[in-house]
A = this chain, B = another copy of it.
Amino acid sequence: MPKTSSKPVKSAVKNGAPACRVALIGFGTVGRAVAKILCESGGNALRLTHICNRNVEKKKQPWVPQDVVWTDDVQAVLNSDVNIVIELIGGLSPAEQIVRGALEAGKSVVTANKQLIARRGPELLQLAASKGCQLEFGASVAGGVPVLPALRTGLSGDRLHGMAGILNGTCNYILSRIETARIPFSEALEEAQARGYAEADASEDLDGGDARAKLAILVLAGLHARVAPEAIRARTIRTVDSVDFDYAAELGCTLRQISRADLKADTLFADVGPCLVARDSPFGRVQRNLNLVLTSGQYGGDMAFLGAGAGGDPTAVAVVSDLMFVAERISAKGGRGVQEELAAPQISPDFETPWYLRFFVRDQPGIVARLAEILAAHRLNIDALLQKPGFDKASLPFVITLEPCRDSLLRPALEKMAGLDFMLRPCLCLPILR
């Protein structure tokens, strides 16, 4: 362990000010890592006073100081004299009641709860402001990647109009494994599950539910706009085939699950799902379960943040950083105080972009003519036609790329194609990000 002279937690509050009393609710992987940092730092600026969890007796750790109260009674914690509650139990219920209860009781809250902030963030921020308390959620997106704090501070002077990211480590692990090893999707998923990068039921990850909740939080914090996660279109990565990496490579691209939002006038264009990205772009280079977030600002241009998106320790750093931020404001008798006006834009998945269409067909004469005819009838321009040799004619994959057009103009053509008798699977239709 590297020895350093920095004593972060010790200097969180003014010298001589009384310590902030901190309660930790939820003692899983992240909770344990947070407690460990707080105990190891040994300062008296932040004092861990309560650890609250179900079956708390089984959770006790020898390295936690004697005077910390272990309890399974949330209400007792909310009734106590703690200044800050850390909520790390996750999910909507009972986390929402706990966070509301803490704020109502005049306690500031630090949470890593993605679903809660994505769904109730605006209301909870308003509640916090009305009570003169703070609510911070830097750990709720991309764990150890300090993008939310950067939005709050270093990028606050810009006017951001776009955010895009690789926000789901499970999808990125699976896609970059297919890319590297050209294994089938199912095999990559099994491998991710075996290594603990994917849950037994990985639907929330694979189908984009996790990423769109995170995107909703980035939109809230970075674009100052309100969007319900369900309003963001999510496309699954299950339909991606290893052959798509072969065709993407022909185009200098690879595939990643991208979450993106662009605010233009009163419309928020937003989408989550697999996209083609240039292999030598920041997105194309993100391997394994790392996270990347790009911000686009009117003045500052593009910024990239890359780091560990999950894991107990990185996430705990985000939680403790928030804690110090909140504690310092309490010490300064600050309080967030600012109730931001949020925009409530229309949400649309209707990006204008070039497209990648991959077909699996039963080979027969006239296929390209039929497809080209449908595209022409919808005024869609073909950019390239790719057909790699060596495939079984009974199930032939080939690709058409289209010049940029709006999503909404493409859909009717795709529906028309779906009815064709030689089509073995639904066409895989992916945006190509430039």
Residues of A within 8 A of B (CB): 1-9, 11-15, 33, 37, 138, 144-150, 152-162, 223-225, 263-266, 280, 282, 285, 297-308, 311, 313-314, 316-325, 328-329, 331-335, 337-341, 343, 345
Question: Do B338 and A223 touch (CB < 8 A)?
Answer: no
Question: Do B335 and A156 touch (CB < 8 A)?
Answer: no
User: What are 11 A-B contacts defined by CB distance under 8 Å?
Assistant: A3-B264, A5-B225, A9-B157, A150-B153, A154-B318, A154-B321, A155-B317, A158-B321, A299-B313, A303-B307, A332-B332
A7-B224, A144-B300, A301-B144 are known contacts. Are A306 and B308 too (CB-CB below 8 A)?
A: no
A306-B306, A307-B300, A345-B5 are known contacts. Are A155 and B146 too (CB-CB below 8 A)?
A: yes
Question: Do B303 and A145 touch (CB < 8 A)?
Answer: yes
Q: Which residue of B lies closest to A321 (CB)?
A: B157
A11-B340, A303-B306, A340-B11 are known contacts. Are A325 and B153 too (CB-CB below 8 A)?
A: yes
Q: Which residue of B lies closest to A13 (CB)?
A: B338
Which residues of chain B come closer than 8 Å to A321, judged between CB atoms?
153-158
Question: Do B153 and A153 touch (CB < 8 A)?
Answer: yes
Name the one of B146, B153, B155 contacting A303, with C-beta atoms under 8 angstroms: B146
19 more CB-based (< 8 A) A-B contacts, given A153-B325, A328-B338:
A1-B298, A2-B159, A2-B264, A4-B343, A5-B225, A5-B266, A7-B224, A8-B156, A37-B157, A146-B155, A149-B154, A150-B154, A154-B318, A156-B324, A285-B285, A300-B314, A305-B306, A333-B333, A333-B334
User: In the bound complex, how far is the Cα of B3 from the Cα of A162, in angstroms?
Assistant: 11
Name the one of B14, B138, B263, B305 contacting A2, with C-beta atoms under 8 angstroms: B263
Which residues of chain B come closer than 8 Å to A285, judged between CB atoms?
280, 285
Name the one of B5, B37, B337 contacting A343, with C-beta atoms under 8 angstroms: B5
User: In the bound complex, how far is the Cα of B163 from the Cα of A123, in angstroms?
Assistant: 39
Question: Do A157 and B8 touch (CB < 8 A)?
Answer: yes
Q: Which residue of B lies closest to A324 (CB)?
A: B156
Question: Do B334 and A332 touch (CB < 8 A)?
Answer: yes
Interface centre among A12, A305, A322, A339 (most CB of B within 10 A): A305
In the assembled complex, how far is the CB of residue A402 from the closest CB belonging to chain B, in whole angstroms? 25
In the assembled complex, how far is the CB of residue A221 from the closest CB belonging to chain B, in whole angstroms? 10
Q: Which residue of B lies closest to A144 (CB)?
A: B300
Interface centre among A37, A149, A157, A345 (most CB of B within 10 A): A157
In the assembled complex, how far is the CB of residue A6 from the closest CB belonging to chain B, in whole angstroms? 4
Name the one of B150, B159, B345 contacting A8, with C-beta atoms under 8 angstroms: B159
In the assembled complex, how far is the CB of residue A84 from the closest CB belonging to chain B, in whole angstroms? 13
Question: Do A332 and B331 touch (CB < 8 A)?
Answer: no
Which residues of chain B come closer than 8 Å to A298, judged between CB atoms?
1-2, 4
A146-B150, A149-B154, A332-B329 are known contacts. Are A301 and B313 too (CB-CB below 8 A)?
A: yes
Which residues of chain B come closer than 8 Å to A6, judged between CB atoms?
159-160, 223-225, 263, 343
Question: Do A332 and B337 touch (CB < 8 A)?
Answer: yes
User: In the bound complex, how far is the Cα of B382 from the Cα of A222, in angstroms?
Assistant: 52
User: In the bound complex, how far is the Cα of B318 from the Cα of A70, in angstroms?
Assistant: 43
Question: Do B316 and A307 touch (CB < 8 A)?
Answer: no
Name the one of B144, B301, B322, B338 contacting A14, with C-beta atoms under 8 angstroms: B338
Question: Do B157 and A320 touch (CB < 8 A)?
Answer: yes
User: In the bound complex, how far is the Cα of B265 from the Cα of A154, in angstroms?
Assistant: 30
In the assembled complex, how far is the CB of residue A168 from the closest CB belonging to chain B, in whole angstroms? 18
Which residues of chain B come closer than 8 Å to A1, judged between CB atoms?
298
Question: Do B4 and A157 touch (CB < 8 A)?
Answer: no
In the assembled complex, how far is the CB of residue A336 from the closest CB belonging to chain B, in whole angstroms? 9
Question: Do B282 and A300 touch (CB < 8 A)?
Answer: no
Which residues of chain B come closer than 8 Å to A264, judged between CB atoms?
2-3
Interface centre among A264, A298, A316 (most CB of B within 10 A): A298
Question: Do B324 and A329 touch (CB < 8 A)?
Answer: no
In the assembled complex, how far is the CB of residue A369 from the closest CB belonging to chain B, in whole angstroms? 41
Question: Do A4 and B160 touch (CB < 8 A)?
Answer: yes
